[in-house]
Amino acid sequence: MGWFLRKKPSIRQTSQKSNFPSGLWLRCEGCGELILQEELRKNLSVCPKCRYHYRFSARDRIKLILDENSFVEIDQNIKSENPLHFIDKIPYSVRVKEAIAKTGELDAFMSGSGTINGRAVEIGSFNFSFMGGSMGAAVGEKITRLFERSLRNKAPAIIITASGGARMQEGAYSLMQMAKTSIALKRLQEESIPYWTLLTDPTTGGVAASFAMLGDLILAEPNALIGFAGPRVIQQTIKQDLPEGFQKSEFLLTHGFLDSIVERNNLRSAFVSLVNFFH
Ligand SMILES: [Zn+2]
């Protein structure tokens, strides 16, 4: 099979790139301009030139929204089992172990209690870098418990999504989480306890089709991909060209699926206004 192997590296560094020490600068995915890594970090991973929003970790998001040092993580030891003994290229249990090693988190969702402007909230956030933020039984259980705490404490529930949807390695178990979380949410609704979601890039599949879109208020970050099936699948199915910006936050806002698009540096003040208003 040796004739398939490349003898030389096929991609050469462009001269432009080699002028800059790696790790110090990056070329923005939004505008193509060079930006200092440090400047990007200070600006909450938003390009200072074009406002392109880079992905942000679950922990950073919670820290950004809550009052300083108010977050108490709960259910951090809940992690995925391998109920179907699923194996694709590698066993699912190995995949989970690799994700834990890569991210330092036990699953794709973290949650806990905290305060915003001194008012109690229950909050949870997806970590896209853990198996694409996919939802298995562990994630579903943590979300359900978050809603139950919210009900007990009569505190607003907040969920920040970044997910490819249900975790296919858990088959029907992962699909059941859509119903399980939605039922828990119904009880919050009956008690008139507010539930707000912030959809970030990307929010798709079973997550989009359940609690993400069930918020009393649904916020999103600019230019986030939000939808059930991917655009290519839809295009192939309906055999029509899709409109410009299809499944992006701005498109969804103008079609009534979102309540507001909030830039990352306004997130904290948006949630402060919400807790003050609904208290
Ligand atoms: Zn940019």
Asked if 82 and 36 sit in the same domain, the reply is no
Residues 91, 226 within the same domain: yes
131: in domain: yes
Is residue 12 in some structural domain? no
pLDDT at 45: 95
Tell me the CA–centroid distance for residue 46 and ligand 1, in Å: 8
**Please, are residues 170 and 208 in contact by the beta-carbon 8 Å criterion?**
no
Is residue 268 domain-shared with residue 194, that is, in the same domain?
A: yes
Residues 46 and 117 in one domain: no
What is d(CA 131, CA 165) in angstroms, rounded to the nearest whole number?
10
Same domain, 133 and 157: yes
36 and 81 part of one domain: no
Q: Which of 54, 70, 96 is the last residue of a domain?
A: 54
User: How far lies 21's CA from each of 13, 14, 32, 41, 61, in Å?
Assistant: 13, 13, 17, 17, 29
| 15 located within any domain | no
**26 and 79 belong to one structural domain:** no
CA 114–ligand 1 middle distance (angstroms): 33
135 secondary structure, DSSP code = B
Domain count for the chain: 2
* 29 plus 110 within the same structural domain: no
Looking at residue 232, its pLDDT comes to 87
Ligand 1 mean position to 220 CA, how many Å? Answer: 19
Cα(28) to ligand 1 centroid in Å equals 5
- Whether residues 141 and 33 share a domain: the answer is no
The range of the structural domain enclosing residue 24 comes to: 20-54
Give the model's pLDDT for residue 180: 97
On whether both 48 and 59 belong to a single domain, the answer is no
Please give the distance, rounded to the nearest whole angstrom, from the Cα atom of residue 55 to the centre of ligand 1: 14
In a domain, 88, yes or no: yes
Report how far ligand 1's centroid is from the alpha carbon of 218 (Å): 26
- Quote the pLDDT of residue 23: 75
Does 10 fall in a domain? no
Which of left, alpha, beta for 205 (phi over 0: left; psi -120 to 50: alpha)? left
What lies within 8 Å, CB to CB, of 221 at 6+ separation is 53, 198, 199, 200, 201, 249, 261, 262, 263, 264
What's the gap in Å between 263 CA and the centre of ligand 1? 14
Yes or no: say if 236 and 260 are a contact pair by the CB < 8 Å rule.
no
pLDDT in tens, the chain (279 residues): 444 555 555 554 444 444 445 679 999 999 999 999 999 999 999 999 999 999 999 999 999 999 999 999 999 999 988 999 999 899 999 999 999 999 999 999 999 999 999 999 999 999 999 999 999 999 999 999 999 999 999 999 999 999 999 999 999 999 999 999 999 999 999 999 999 999 999 999 999 999 999 999 999 999 999 999 988 889 999 999 999 899 999 999 999 999 999 999 999 999 999 999 987
224 C-alpha to center of ligand 1: Å? 15
Residue 58 CA to ligand 1 centre (angstroms)? 22
